[in-house]
Amino acid sequence: MEFRYLGNSGFKVSEIIYGNWLTHASQVADDQAIKTVHAALDAGITTFDTADVYANQAAEVVLGKALEGQRREGIEILTKVYWPVAEKGPNDTGLSRKHIFESIHGSLKRLKTDYVELYQAHRYDYETPLEETMQAFADLVRQGKVMYVGVSEWTAEQIREGKKLADQLGFQLISNQPQYSMLWRVIEEKVVPTSKELGLGQIVWSPMAQGVLSGKYLPGQPAPEGSRAADPNVGEFIQKFMTDDVLTRVQQLAPLAKEVGLDMAQFAVAWVLQNDNVSAAIVGASRPEQISSNVRAAGVKLPAEIMKKVDEILGDVVVTDPSNTKSPEGRLC
């Protein structure tokens, strides 16, 4: 496993981060989830990403159980706040001071820890003054419950505003967590240059484009039974990639992956790690062997000609419009 600094901080994370968005307390039984976390640890992964909204708080509980007994100083725990949780009442959502404070206390209890390394605003809250949000984060940092602060899916302009307030309030805003893959590159035009300027690093989610870049979905054929695209509860996230044009081009990437000694999934993860503003890629897994395979993407340097061929093959199916980085106008509650 390789490790990278997160933004301009002195904090390092593993290049491959284990995330439990769609697996723990949802698709995978707890005992299997715990085995997969232990496989991640055995493979050298030390950084774990979760959120209070995953399985409506239950995913944090599973991760807390899985990490119990580990040397706390030897792991890094990342969680998030914003989406409606618990009873989903009027204050059970957003980035108000009330919700942030109540959310971190709940997360710490579920994760069985006194602090988290990184606390992330899961989206931008248009209904709460940004000053209120950033002051709440500043207070949590000073209380020792949060070491660093990050955001997720914020626009370049929102990141700039947040960083300015963080500097004024005396705490470090060090990361953004966006969707990023060979097929989804909306951060490249604005978010990445702004993040480089301001000292934030990217922790990217869905580097395999919801599994499409693994090559398991074939043009003209239905999604395999039991796959993510076939699951009505999560299939909506993947549908934008499930066209015959996209799937045909993805199949053409297979020889490139083979040329560098990787399978398709490993190749997809290695590709996002070539961006020098990407600190880490989040991968999920429902089985221990998936994690053992994914970590082979760490430390891989893809030749420039391979990167160029990827662009030539995918062509105009790549989504690049920066307006696709956005948060809900309301809190959905």
DSSP states of 147-203 as a string?
EEEEESS--HHHHHHHHHHHHHHT--EEEE--B--SSB-TTTTTHHHHHHHHT-EEE
Place of tokens 């897994």: 285
In sequence order, the β-bridge partners of residue 184 are 319
The pLDDT of 289-300, averaged and rounded, is 90
List C-alpha distances in Å: 255 to 208, 267, 310: 17, 11, 11
Q: What residue ranges define each of the domains in the chain, with the CATH number in brackets? A: 3-324 (3.20.20.100)
pLDDT number for residue 220? 80
Per DSSP, 4 falls in state: E
Whether the predicted pLDDT of 226 surpasses 70: no
pLDDT number for residue 287? 83
pLDDT number for residue 55? 87
Highest mean pLDDT among 52-61, 213-222, 272-281: 272-281
Asked whether 217 and 230 are in contact (CB, 8 A), the reply is no
Whether the predicted pLDDT of 235 surpasses 60: no
Calpha distance 135→120 (Å, rounded): 14
The mean predicted confidence, pLDDT, of the chain is 92
Calpha distance 13→44 (Å, rounded): 11
Contacting residues for 94 by C-beta, under 8 A, at least 6 apart: 82, 125, 127, 128, 331, 333
What single string gives the DSSP state of each residue in 227-251?
Answer: SGGG-TTTGGGTGGG-SHHHHHHHH
pLDDT band at 288 (very low <50, low <70, confident <90, very high): confident
Whether the predicted pLDDT of 234 surpasses 70: no
Task: Please say whether the dihedral angle defined by the alpha carbons of residues 188, 194, 196 and 197, taken in this order, is positive or negative.
Answer: positive
CA atoms within 13 A on the CB side of 258: 6
pLDDT band at 333 (very low <50, low <70, confident <90, very high): low
Calpha distance 165→109 (Å, rounded): 29
Each residue of 65-108: pLDDT tens digit? 999 999 999 999 999 999 989 889 999 999 999 999 999 999 99
Whether the predicted pLDDT of 314 surpasses 70: yes
Asked whether 45 and 295 are in contact (CB, 8 A), the reply is yes
Amino acid identity at 308: K
Q: pTM of the entire structure?
A: 0.92
Q: Has 54 been annotated as catalytic?
A: yes
pLDDT number for residue 278? 98
In sequence order, the β-bridge partners of residue 282 are 17
pLDDT number for residue 230? 62
Q: 103-129: buried (b, 16+ CB within 10 Å) or exposed (e) per residue?
A: bbebbbebbbbebbbbbbbbbbbeebe
Whether the predicted pLDDT of 231 surpasses 70: no
Calpha distance 28→35 (Å, rounded): 11
> Of these residues, 54, 119, 124, 217, which one is catalytic?
54
Q: What is the dihedral of CA 227, 228, 234, 237, to 10 degrees?
A: -140
Whether the predicted pLDDT of 24 surpasses 60: no
Percent of the chain past pLDDT 70, that is, above it, reads: 94
pLDDT number for residue 9? 97
pLDDT number for residue 208? 95
Asked whether 159 and 195 are in contact (CB, 8 A), the reply is yes
Asked whether 101 and 70 are in contact (CB, 8 A), the reply is no
Asked whether 119 and 49 are in contact (CB, 8 A), the reply is no
pLDDT band at 232 (very low <50, low <70, confident <90, very high): low
CA atoms within 13 A on the CB side of 222: 5
Whether the predicted pLDDT of 327 surpasses 60: yes
pLDDT number for residue 27? 62
pLDDT band at 212 (very low <50, low <70, confident <90, very high): very high
Each residue of 45-61: pLDDT tens digit? 999 999 999 888 889 99
Question: Which helix (H) or strand (E) is 106 found in, with range?
Answer: helix 97-111
Question: Which helix (H) or strand (E) is 64 found in, with range?
Answer: helix 58-67
pLDDT band at 31 (very low <50, low <70, confident <90, very high): confident
pLDDT band at 236 (very low <50, low <70, confident <90, very high): low
